Structure 1
Amino acid sequence: MATKKRWGDLTPQQQAGGIVSATIQLVLAAIAWTDLAKRPAEEVNGPKPMWAVIILVNFIGPLSYFLFGRRRD
């Protein structure tokens, strides 16, 4: 059975990749939540609280909001 790696067991490249991935995720989520907060409910497909929770899902949530959550004119 494989043992779980700890942060110190990762190579510097793996650590950098993890930091970059986490940063991208947090930035995407922050932008999506900001857009959701400023956008009127009439311009959102579905309830805003539902989208606020969906945005929590790594990468998929914010991208889903940008693709499917906002109404297009």
Structure 2
Amino acid sequence: MASRKWSDMNGGQKFGTVAGGIVQLVLAGLAWSDLAHRPAKKVNGPKGVWAAVISINFAGPIAYFLAGRKN
């Protein structure tokens, strides 16, 4: 599939792209903030690995919130 240029998108597609990017950044920011403030003993695995995992699109922050934190 060929990549599309911004100018080729209609208004709804542009809005969806921007909204998706904002949601992704907010999720990653929340996950990184939580990771930074959470003691290492309350994290499943090394914090450095989770910091890298969080940077993977939507899947990383969601994986951290589901599997990376101990209660």
Q: Which TM bucket (shorter chain)?
A: over 0.9
Over the aligned positions, Cα root-mean-square deviation in angstroms equals 0.9
Flag as ranges the 4+ runs of structure 1 deviating above 6 A: none
How do 1:1-73 residues align onto structure 2 when only pairs under 5 Å count?
3-72=2-71
Give the number of aligned pairs: 71
User: Which segments of 5 or more consecutive residues in structure 1 lack a partner in the other structure?
Assistant: none
Mapped partners of 1:39, 1:3: distance in 2:
42
Q: Which runs of 5+ in 2 are unaligned?
A: none
Pair member with larger Rg? 1
Aligned identity (percent) is 48
CA-CA distance at 1:32 after TM superposition: 0.2
List per-residue Cα deviations over 1:4-63 (Å, max 9, x = no partner).
310110001000000000000000000000000000000000000000000001110000
| TM-score under structure 1 length normalisation | 0.93
